[in-house]
Structure 1
């Protein structure tokens, strides 16, 4: 039995819950603020939401990366497992914490702006363009993370991930959810960043497809030797 299969997970799981909660609060809270500050300019609302998310994500990865790897995203953890950097035990512990954290963060964001703690979103996003956008957004996110990890540049991940997500808000029609946990969390806020429950299955499916694409591309472009896999296991905890 490998050491990774028996390592304590309480602290990393708590870090994933807290990081996911704060990420959802940043995404949804900045969306609410943007909607109120710029009620007549949707483009400006998106810019404000994207800027806050990019900066917030950068900070959150720096805070929680040393404890859990700052995944905040089930497809990041899944890719980590399939690329040999983590265990299924960790995935099964992280994924529920990530989803619970994002749902909690949605409630926190609503409360911060004196809205109902829970309001189910009515924003429909289930179109072909949104689905393709989520494939591209998710694949790109994982390529950023694991290309850096496999080339010994994991310390650059916080800035790179924040920059990519900020840009992807604009170059994808879905505004780059790229995360099943945040897709579920956004259900619980009927605001600028929300998503209707009926649209979530499409988002989660296409995010998983995007993860599969990224895993294939990473394996092709950055093949890992046994020694590199050992280094990956050490380095991935510093990436998002």
Structure 2
């Protein structure tokens, strides 16, 4: 990453904003178009995975396209990103995610902020978030070395699938989790439940680093 820090932070903020717009906006659109929960989730998953793939492909050369504090944490631990830069990355991602929720609400003419009432808690949900984030980080670390050009599509497809094979619908991103507390729509999560999700995501990311290192399959972190 050769771009100056302000440019990289702008990319992280904008990228996370558009990722959250895709998550929240497609959830709102799906709710308006169908009463079928399974179809709504399918629409939400496809839109999110497709947007994520494009964002990583476009922003990867600028900032690494982390768009996720868990990914940034891993990069910092692997010394691919200085701790100071990592802290700013996380702040940019969280701020971008919040703006993304506000913009999604504005597009659909909803109140800009509406705290979610959607309960997402319990051991099964936390395990799902840990596994979802474990898989995401493993895909990034392994795919970043063996199939770097394909990494955007690997990540996008993984998240699309993880929407369906996890009990939590695979948030796998602390910044996105915080942003989703501000929407009382299809993709929301109660603020009370967010800390459990974020803790599980961080644990899953750290376990992925250990597992990939043990396998000897990791690439240099993005």
State the TM-score, normalizing by the size of structure 2. Answer: 0.96
Find the aligned partners of 1:127 and 1:96 in 2 and give their Cα distance: 28
Q: Does 1:117 align with 2:112?
A: yes
2:44 corresponds, among 49, 52, 62, to: 49
Return structure 1 stretches of 4+ with deviation > 6 angstroms.
Answer: none
* Contact in 1 for aligned 2:3/2:62 (Cα 8 Å): no
Equivalent residue, structure 2, for 1:68 = 63
What RMSD over aligned residues (CA atoms) do the two structures have, in Å? 1.6
Give, in angstroms, the shift of residue 90 of structure 1: 1.7
Give, in angstroms, the shift of residue 150 of structure 1: 3.3
Find the aligned partners of 1:93 and 1:155 in 2 and give their Cα distance: 26
Find the aligned partners of 1:183 and 1:123 in 2 and give their Cα distance: 12
Q: Does 1:156 align with 2:150?
A: yes
Q: Secondary structure at the match of 1:26?
A: helix
Find the aligned partners of 2:158 and 2:217 in 1 and give their Cα distance: 23
Q: Secondary structure at the match of 1:19?
A: helix
1:25 corresponds, among 21, 24, 28, to: 21
Distance 1:84 1:182, change over 3 A: same
Find the aligned partners of 2:121 and 2:69 in 1 and give their Cα distance: 21
Q: Does 1:80 align with 2:87?
A: no
Find the aligned partners of 1:69 and 1:115 in 2 and give their Cα distance: 33
* Contact in 1 for aligned 2:142/2:217 (Cα 8 Å): no
C-alpha distance after superposition, 1:77-107 (max 9, x if no partner): 1111212322212211100000010011001
Find the aligned partners of 2:192 and 2:185 in 1 and give their Cα distance: 16
Give, in angstroms, the shift of residue 195 of structure 1: 0.5
State the TM-score, normalizing by the size of structure 1. Answer: 0.89
C-alpha distance after superposition, 1:35-59 (max 9, x if no partner): 1111x21000000000100111111
Equivalent residue, structure 2, for 1:174 = 168
Q: Does 1:188 align with 2:200?
A: no
Unaligned runs of 5+ in 2: none
Find the aligned partners of 1:169 and 1:223 in 2 and give their Cα distance: 25
